Amino acid sequence: MASSSSSFYFLLLCSFLFPIISLSTAKTTSFRPKALLLPVTKDASTSQYLVQIKQRTPFVPVKLTVDLGGEFLWIDCEKGYVSSSYKPARCGSAQCNLAQSKACGECSPPKPGCNKNTCSLFPYNPFIRTSTGGEFASDVVSLLSTNGLNPGRVVSAPKVLFTCGSTFLLQGLASGVTGIAGLGRKKIGLPLQLASAFSFNRKFAVCLSSSTRSKGVIFFGNEPYVFLPNIDVSKNLIYTPLILNPVSTSGSFFEGETSADYFIGVKSIKINDKVVPVNTTLLSIDKVGNGGTKISTVERYTVLHTSIYNAVVGAFVKALSKVPRVKAVAPFGACYASKSLGSTRVGPGVPAIDLVLQSKKVVWRIFGANSMVQVSDEVLCLGFVDGGVETRTSIVIGGHQIEDNLLQFDLAASRLGFSSSLLFRQTTCANFNFTSIA
């Protein structure tokens, strides 16, 4: 009796408050952010790049590993997923079409991740190379807006599409992580979904910190991208076309799907301005989607097809022949005593490695800070690894090589803008001013 009367009272109170609530909601929703912001931390034990969003009703923080080439957002729904705004995607719905899902399933008893007549996708964990089937669904997500200089107010998108993963699929992910933020080139990838939810330009930018103690940043939407001391990194980017691989490079996909990975056209490699002899056939994408160059946040270091690896290490060692090598430390092939390499503003003093793109003038130059890895107090190694002769993609540019570089992915123009090392411009990816104006 008491409880029913109190809920009656609650209803009354709600209807009384309704005009005030609806006014304040209208005010929040009329705010159209130009860009959104996700702080990124580098996990100390796995080196994975982590972000945190808020999701569900009521909102809970959800920690995710970033996969630049991941097809979509997936989150474990098996354990602890409680939300009143969870909505499974019905078979044949616009959402299922957008996802190009060809799987329709039944599941009971109903709960998030298990409903009748819903389409499913295959969430993939690239760290353990495993995927599973999972219900496709939507829920509310909130994150920070930005003017490009500071974090702004919190905004939310009511229906962000994602796939339900399973608890076992979290293996190999950093502690506390419950899913993967796929930033890949798909309509259901996070960048395009957020661009359409907030009607901003179909662009995003990634700037990863090399330190596990200070945060890097991902921007969704328009520039500027300003880092302390007041440097707008979106100016002076170098541009190269993004190449669409017609064949999926994911661990699980439907036949006929294109790749969600971001490929660029490396035409040659130079070390100390000399061309490294490599088999150029490996540098382009063939009919079955093999070969070419992509960018990855899953690989810690750049992975090269064996023949390219041997040529690059050989040329690098030759260019540094005056400096004695020390015993190699796996998985690297060429190591040096730190003290025998000088130090520059852009890291250890070693020959620059150039990825030559669409013309001789368009070059992604890799300096010591991005080419060398500190394996101990005394030893630095060339941070490229041998991927074997069976690699699907010949060059996979890994995390270490893109840290403290800003990469802008412009999906509308299908081009990549890159800054090269920000150390040259006396800033780093950890220099975004997270201090709020409020």
Ligand X SMILES: *[C@@H]1O[C@H](CO)[C@@H](O)[C@H](O)[C@H]1NC(C)=O
Partners of 426 in the β-ladder: none
Closer Cβ to ligand X, 151 or 333, answer by number: 151
Closer Cβ to ligand X, 228 or 323, answer by number: 228
- Are 219 and 389 a contacting pair, CB within 8 Å? no
Binding of residue 17 to ligand X (CB under 6 A): no
Least separation in angstroms between residue 357's CB and ligand X is 20
- Are 51 and 64 a contacting pair, CB within 8 Å? yes
Closer Cβ to ligand X, 343 or 435, answer by number: 435
Scored b (16 or more CB within 10 A) or e, 199-210 reads ebbbbbbbbbbb
Closer Cβ to ligand X, 391 or 420, answer by number: 391
Least separation in angstroms between residue 239's CB and ligand X is 29
What are the φ/ψ torsions at residue 317 (nearest 5 degrees)?
A: -65, -40
What span, in angstroms and rounded, lies between the C-alpha atoms of 361 and 355?
Answer: 11
What span, in angstroms and rounded, lies between the C-alpha atoms of 142 and 157?
Answer: 6
Please report which helix (H) or strand (E) contains residue 19, including its range. helix 2-29
Least separation in angstroms between residue 265's CB and ligand X is 17
Closer Cβ to ligand X, 228 or 247, answer by number: 228
How many CB atoms are located within 10 Å of the residue 437 CB? 10
Q: How many residues sit in the footprint of ligand X (CB under 6 A)?
A: 8
Closer Cβ to ligand X, 100 or 284, answer by number: 284
Binding of residue 279 to ligand X (CB under 6 A): yes
- Are 111 and 23 a contacting pair, CB within 8 Å? no
Closer Cβ to ligand X, 325 or 392, answer by number: 392
Largest Cα span, the chain: 89
| Residues 223-252, interacting with ligand X (CB under 6 A) | 228
Binding of residue 52 to ligand X (CB under 6 A): no
Contact window for ligand X (CB under 6 A) among 177-185, 279-287, 330-338, 340-348: 279-287
Contact window for ligand X (CB under 6 A) among 61-69, 195-203, 211-219, 430-438: 430-438
Contacting ligand X (CB under 6 A), which of 30, 108, 281, 321? 281
| Residues 110-149, interacting with ligand X (CB under 6 A) | none
Q: Which of 239, 235, 227, 237 is nearest to 426 (CA)?
A: 227
Closer Cβ to ligand X, 226 or 381, answer by number: 226
Least separation in angstroms between residue 305's CB and ligand X is 8
Binding of residue 437 to ligand X (CB under 6 A): yes
What span, in angstroms and rounded, lies between the C-alpha atoms of 1 and 159?
Answer: 38
Least separation in angstroms between residue 228's CB and ligand X is 5
Closer Cβ to ligand X, 191 or 292, answer by number: 292
Collapsing DSSP states into helix, strand and coil, what is residue 119? strand
Binding of residue 310 to ligand X (CB under 6 A): no
Least separation in angstroms between residue 72's CB and ligand X is 31
Q: Which of 366, 348, 346 is nearest to 356 (CA)?
A: 366
Percentages helix, strand, coil for the chain (3-state, rounded to 5) are: 20, 35, 45
Q: Which of 179, 180, 176, 181 is nearest to 191 (CA)?
A: 181
The label of the residue with tokens 């991740």 reads: 113
Binding of residue 150 to ligand X (CB under 6 A): yes
Binding of residue 282 to ligand X (CB under 6 A): yes
Q: Which residues form the interface with ligand X (CB under 6 A)?
A: 150, 228, 279, 281-282, 433, 435, 437
